[in-house]
Amino acid sequence: MITSSYALPPILPPAAHPRLMLTARDIPRIRENLCGGQYPDATRLFWQLCDVEIKGVGATPEAGTYHMKEYLALEAKALDALLSDDAGKGRSVIDTLLFLLRHADFAATYMQARYSGHLIFVAAEVYDWCNKWLNGAEKEEIVARCEAFAEAHFEMGYPPQKQAAISGHGNEAQLLRDLLAFSIAVYDERPDIYAFCAGRLFEEYIPAYEQVFAGEFHPQGPCYGSYRYAWAMWFGLLILAMSGRRVLPEAVGRMADSLLYLTRADGEALRLGDDYNECKAAYTAKNPFGVPLFLAAAYTGNGAHHRAALEQLPAAYLVPFGHGLDFYDEGAFGESVISPTVFLVFEALTPLWEPENRPLGRYFGRPVCATVYNDGERLVLMKLGALWGANHDHLDTGCFQIYDGEILASDSGVYDSYHTPHRKQYAIGTVAHNCLLVGDEGTRAPCGGKEPKTLAAWLSDYHMAECLFHQEVPERYEIFGDLTEAYAHTCRRVMRRMCFEPNRGERGILTVTDSVTPKEADAPVTFLLHCQSEPVIRGREILISGKKKSLRCRVETTSEVEIHAVGGAGRQFEVKGVQYEPQVVTAESGWGRVEITARGAVEWTVTMEIGNK
């Protein structure tokens, strides 16, 4: 038994099985999803999974005994046993689970928390869905082995008291799905596990979510932010499915809107923060948000999110409706955020409703404080960054990006891996973004770059900027902020105003106005502008040419300025004269940057007009 210091959760699991992801009232809906002909690809994959022979052999030597297809097969077989009420199938599922638990070995893989967590989750499904065919000794063995896996392999520890609700792996499957699901399944025999896991979620995570999701835009960026958003939705869905009650702050459900705003016309996500789609998960690059949008729609019933999810899921990782069952053979990386079984169980959990049409541009408040304009062709991001998220967030306070069929003013660098010199010395730094340098320094890194451990610490110690004004009308989308805290080590005052006027010029004009007062009277202040091709500089005018579009820029200031380019082969990832090569160069890692530099206190305006080439 484990002891919890948290208050008793306000919602407890019901007495009857099934109660994990579904209850008896959901079975007709799930049967309709499976047999009604609406989802032929999901149905086909489900029945193919039911026919998979489970051997307990890993997908790759590096994966230990983990094989995603086998775990998803056991999950599908368990649901089939429940829906058919077939004791023979149920006993076969239980015997297979016990075999996997007895022979599992994750010690040699760096993904041991995720792989063992997936097994704990599937064990919870079997425990709940096949409960009436389990005997007491088998229940005790399943619980004991799952607890041992969590204690041996979970980064959060067991009981899960490590890590935090703000950023880091504490926002992923270990607690938000795997142990919560396990605690729901075994509640009758071990209520102490639910008391701890759900107790921590209600007491610590929900208050944190009130702040993290308040602006409906994840501080970890579109890539990791959407991934961790999916796990937050799992928490909400597990409680909703067993109790009929929604416990997440309403802003959490609405955050899915930001994923639509951050989707470019080519289907890819705007690069912001660490982004693994280009070099780590290329098969999702054109459909990055199908999974989180589906889970959000299952929780909220938002019809726009549901439609977008169904458009993306056929190509999405872990739901390879368009690829076939063998695609799961590659699935040694991951822990099944979603699967054909999960799709069939959660689809239509919440009746759909239609939201109002989204405006072309929208302001997202704290903690990110960003305005995004997206008319289906052009996407302009103007981000202040009130609170720094650490972990996969970058030091990009006050950044902007411009996309019009292609990226014109971009982020730079590659997320080649978390601890590489390229990421640590270049890609996460201010120098890799359309921001300001003072001296040769970017923004400060709060608390030495470490992740916040508590909500109070995040709110007090990671503050970087303040939004002073924002306006969103058809003629102009504007945001104005005080960035002084981000530059407190080098500046007395830093202000930035960004305004996109979609109807001005050929295809819209972004205007960025800065007012900077360095602490050192003659310190250089540099405006950074990253691009994908070599720019042409003539006096105070800059031309960036893409394949079909261009960006014509002009610098207006009374200060003396020097404008030059830093980039090209061997210099595109340069910091203080040192080139930090990534392990792989991607399509949008960047040519380099334009540096606009003045000395001492400076006020300038840089106008950037989008045009046809």
Structural domain boundaries of the chain? 24-346, 365-612
Per-residue pLDDT of 341-384, as tens digits, reads 999 999 999 999 999 999 999 999 999 999 999 999 999 999 99
**Range 237-250 average pLDDT:** 98
Domains 24-346 and 365-612 share a fold: no
Please enumerate, as own/partner, the contacts of 217-220 that have beta carbons within 8 Å and a separation of 24 or more: 217/255, 217/258, 217/364, 217/368, 217/370, 218/255, 218/258, 218/368, 219/167, 219/367, 219/368, 219/387, 219/388, 219/389, 219/393, 220/167, 220/273, 220/274, 220/389, 220/391, 220/392, 220/393
pTM of full prediction above 0.75: yes
Average pLDDT over residues 550-573: 98
Q: How high does pLDDT run on average in the chain?
A: 95
- Give the integer Cα–Cα distance in Å for 476 and 443: 28
pLDDT in tens, 65-85: 999 899 999 999 999 999 999
Distance between CA atoms of residues 142 and 182, nearest Å:
10
Q: What is the mean pLDDT of the segment spanning 460-465? A: 98
Reported as a pLDDT band with limits 50, 70 and 90, residue 109 is: confident
Domain with residues 365-612, CATH architecture: Distorted Sandwich (2.70)
Architecture of domain 24-346: Alpha/alpha barrel (1.50)
Sort residue 487 into left (φ over 0), alpha (ψ -120 to 50) or beta.
alpha
**What's the rounded Cα separation, in Å, for the pair 164 and 170?**
5
**Rounded percentage of the chain residues whose pLDDT exceeds 90:** 90
Query: Is pLDDT at 10 greater than 70 in this prediction?
Result: yes
pLDDT of residue 332: 46
